[in-house]
């Protein structure tokens, strides 16, 4: 069941700690890159709100040790209605004393079993599209509307992929989702071009040693022609650890030119 803590607890802080100045909303925080980013976001002045199917059992204790607030909401973003309404209500409740900075970090994604599109189960396709594209756009819309009067710095960061920019057979839905995030970032950047407080980036995080990579290199080569490429990345030691990739992504958020290019890659200069 979702954490039932009230929305007004979002900016609570540990005794003796400085009040939070940044609220970061992170999706897909239970494993891999998301879990690594969640741990690295536990910084002074930070409140972290995670939206994941399964809470991280050690994250709350790590947040207390770091002296910052953390709320974990157990929500299935493949059915995003509840998450959208709950986030909207939580942010509206902060209107009288909002944080100085709001970060929306959309990381959650689902990779269906690699295969040609016609071989994909319909439920897998539906979940991949809703979790990977519908949820981040609807959560962004709700958050932007609810925080419109805050006067805060607002950053939207979509975790994209090279597969959003280079098509690959056997991963049609995943390619479509990531390409959709890239183009959504371009359109949102145009919508907020006259608003210097709101910046948007769709960022490819590089190749990472995650369950998703394991799934790709373990796929049936007869159904997924690119399987050998992903196997080679692993054998040749070319994958970042989740912790390495998380550090690169979070460093991008702190760049003074964040949002100058709405579609970017952590390997860009």
CATH code assigned at 139: 3.40.50.720
Q: What is the mean pLDDT of residues 47-66?
A: 94
Q: How many CB atoms lie within 10 A of CB 157?
A: 25
Distance CA 143, CA 141 (A): 6
Query: Is residue 222 one of the residues assigned to a domain?
Result: no
Query: Is residue 228 one of the residues assigned to a domain?
Result: no
pLDDT at 219: 57
Contact between 221 and 187 under an 8 Å Cβ cutoff? The reply is no
In the sheet where 46-52 sits, what is the strand order? Answer: 69-74, 46-52, 22-27, 101-106, 153-159, 198-204, 263-265
List Cβ neighbours of 169 (8 Å cut-off, separation of 6 or more).
116, 224, 225, 226
What domain range includes position 165?
7-206+242-256
Sign for the pseudo-dihedral over CA of 112, 207, 229, 202? positive
Res. 44 pLDDT band, cuts 50 70 90: confident
Task: Provide the token pair at 269.
Answer: 């200069």
Task: Provide the token pair at 154.
Answer: 């607002």
Count of the separate structural domains present in the chain: 1
pLDDT at 1: 36
Query: Is residue 225 one of the residues assigned to a domain?
Result: no
Query: Is residue 236 one of the residues assigned to a domain?
Result: no
Distance CA 157, CA 203 (A): 7
pLDDT at 111: 81
Alpha carbon 257 to its chain's center: 20
Distance CA 124, CA 158 (A): 21
Query: Is residue 161 one of the residues assigned to a domain?
Result: yes
Query: Is residue 183 one of the residues assigned to a domain?
Result: yes
Query: Is residue 237 one of the residues assigned to a domain?
Result: no
Residue 217 has pLDDT above 60, yes or no: no
Q: Considering only residues 258 and 8, tell me which one the structure prediction assigns the higher pLDDT.
A: 258
Query: Is residue 65 one of the residues assigned to a domain?
Result: yes
Residue among 165, 160, 200 nearest 181 (CA): 160
pLDDT at 171: 86
Helix (H/G/I), strand (E/B), else coil: 88: helix
Q: What is the DSSP annotation of 188-237?
A: HHHHTTT-TTEEEEEEE---B-SHHHHHHHTS-TTT-TTHHHHHHHHHTT
Q: What is the DSSP annotation of 122-188?
A: HHHHHHHHIIIIIHHHHHHHHHHHHTTTS--EEEEEEE--GGGTS--TT-HHHHHHHHHHHHHHHHH
pTM exceeding the 0.85 threshold for the entire prediction: yes
């Amino acid at each position: 069941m979702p954490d039932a803590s009230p929305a007004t607890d979002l900016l609570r802080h540990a005794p003796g700690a400085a009040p939070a100045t940044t609220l970061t909303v992170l999706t897909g925080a239970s494993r891999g890159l998301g879990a690594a980013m969640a741990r690295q976001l536990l910084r002074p002045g930070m409140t972290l709100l995670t939206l994941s199917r399964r809470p991280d059992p050690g994250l709350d204790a790590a947040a207390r040790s770091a002296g910052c607030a953390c709320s974990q909401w157990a929500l299935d973003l493949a059915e995003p209605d509840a998450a959208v309404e709950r986030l909207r209500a939580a942010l509206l409740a902060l209107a009288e004393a909002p944080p100085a900075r709001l970060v929306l970090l959309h990381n959650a994604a689902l990779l269906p079993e690699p295969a040609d599109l016609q071989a994909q189960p319909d439920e897998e396709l539906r979940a991949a599209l809703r979790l990977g594209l519908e949820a981040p756009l609807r959560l962004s819309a709700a958050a932007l509307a609810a925080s419109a009067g805050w006067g805060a710095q607002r950053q939207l960061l979509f975790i994209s992929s090279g597969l959003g920019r280079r098509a690959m057979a056997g991963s049609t839905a995943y390619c479509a989702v990531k390409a959709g995030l890239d183009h959504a970032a371009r359109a949102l950047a145009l919508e907020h071009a006259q608003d210097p407080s709101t910046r948007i980036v769709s960022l490819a995080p590089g190749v990472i040693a995650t369950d998703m990579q394991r799934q790709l290199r373990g796929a049936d080569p007869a159904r997924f022609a690119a399987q050998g490429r992903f196997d080679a990345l692993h054998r040749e030691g070319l994958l970042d650890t989740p912790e390495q990739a998380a550090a690169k992504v979070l460093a991008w958020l702190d760049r003074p030119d964040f949002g100058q290019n709405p579609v970017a890659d952590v390997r860009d200069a």
